[in-house]
Amino acid sequence: MNEDSFVPAPRAPRFSGRVLLLKLLRLLLLILLGTSVLVAIAMPDYVRAQAWASPTSPAEWLLFQPFELSAEEWERGPHAEHGLFFASADGTMLHGAWFPAADPQGVVVFAHGNAGHLQHRIYRAELLRDRFQLSVLLFDYRGYGLSEGTATVEGALADTRAAQAQAAELAQTTPDQVILMGRSLGGALVAEVAAESTPRAVVIESSFRSLQEICRVHFPRMTWLVSAHKLNATAALQNYHGPLLLSHGDADHTIPFSHGQALFQAAAGPKTFVRIPGGDHNDMQSEDYWEEFGRFLAGLSAAK
């Protein structure tokens, strides 16, 4: 079984011959992108912000790889009884799944990576519930699974905030008592939300410094299209002063290990880093990690 995933947008296949045609197409693409940027520069700030939040922006197209889930497939599955819907701030309906612990020692929102949907993360909710007695809310960002809408960065941030509030309501507590846990893309999302909402704790696995920096890894020629402020987890963690558990595999070929190190270095509050020897991006978390996670939770309980 693989862990959560970060899936770069598919690259165009290489064809033998047709070199001139490909060069012409590349030139046309650059002209179109350049024209879009010039138009954006001439826009008022509020119009430009809306344009870059649209699902047609290069940043969103590269980042989000949503998988659909049919209602019939979900209802036929073994976990349909855990399903629920709740609204994001703009009224977009989001699909979630709630796994309450019998004797809860805490409540967790889990924000997944940029591909798949919540049904692929059921094992994670069950592990957190059964091994650590945590009540867990899984949710899909807009455009994923059964959630409405189209994926955007601002939309996914709003959806993560809504999930935090929904988990607090389900657990009959307050949002500042919710642990925000995110993997890959989800790690960057919970970092930004944590900087503004002071949750009980933050847990980040295999995430990136910023959208621009991960674009630099996979699409270096397109880095200039992405704002340095877009999903900047490094800056967010500088403004988060609560407990942080951060992990990263040192053989991660998708989000380099150096990104995890940089995030840890930037974090302002009490923090713990777990290096996963030989861990690639989609590998399962190690047993050493889960033991450290248990110690991290015990420290939260002791500090209450």
Phi then psi dihedrals of residue 32, to 5 deg: -65, -45
Residue 201's pLDDT is: 98
> Looking at 50-59, 109-118, 197-206, which range is the least confident one?
50-59
Are 228 and 212 in contact by the 8 Å Cβ rule? The answer is: yes
pTM check: above 0.75: yes
pLDDT (average), residues 38-60: 44
Residue 62's pLDDT is: 77
Residue 68's pLDDT is: 86
Residue 60's pLDDT is: 79
Q: Which of 215, 239, 210, 214 is nearest to 225 (CA)?
A: 215
Confidence of residue 8 (pLDDT cuts 50, 70, 90): low
Confidence of residue 26 (pLDDT cuts 50, 70, 90): low
pLDDT (average), residues 151-162: 96
CA distance linking residue 164 with residue 194, whole number of Å: 10
Residue 202's pLDDT is: 98
> Looking at 77-86, 87-96, 201-210, 216-225, which range is the least confident one?
216-225
Confidence of residue 74 (pLDDT cuts 50, 70, 90): very high
pLDDT in tens, 221-273: 888 888 899 999 999 999 999 999 999 999 999 999 999 999 999 999 999 99
Are 107 and 100 in contact by the 8 Å Cβ rule? The answer is: no
Is residue 246 within a helix (H) or strand (E), and if so which, with residue range?
strand 244-249
Residue 44's pLDDT is: 39
pLDDT (average), residues 166-186: 97
* Residue 299: Cβ within 10 Å count: 14
Average pLDDT, the chain: 86
pLDDT in tens, 95-151: 999 999 999 999 999 999 999 999 999 999 999 999 999 999 999 999 999 999 999
* pLDDT for residue 10 is more than 60: no
CA distance linking residue 230 with residue 183, whole number of Å: 17
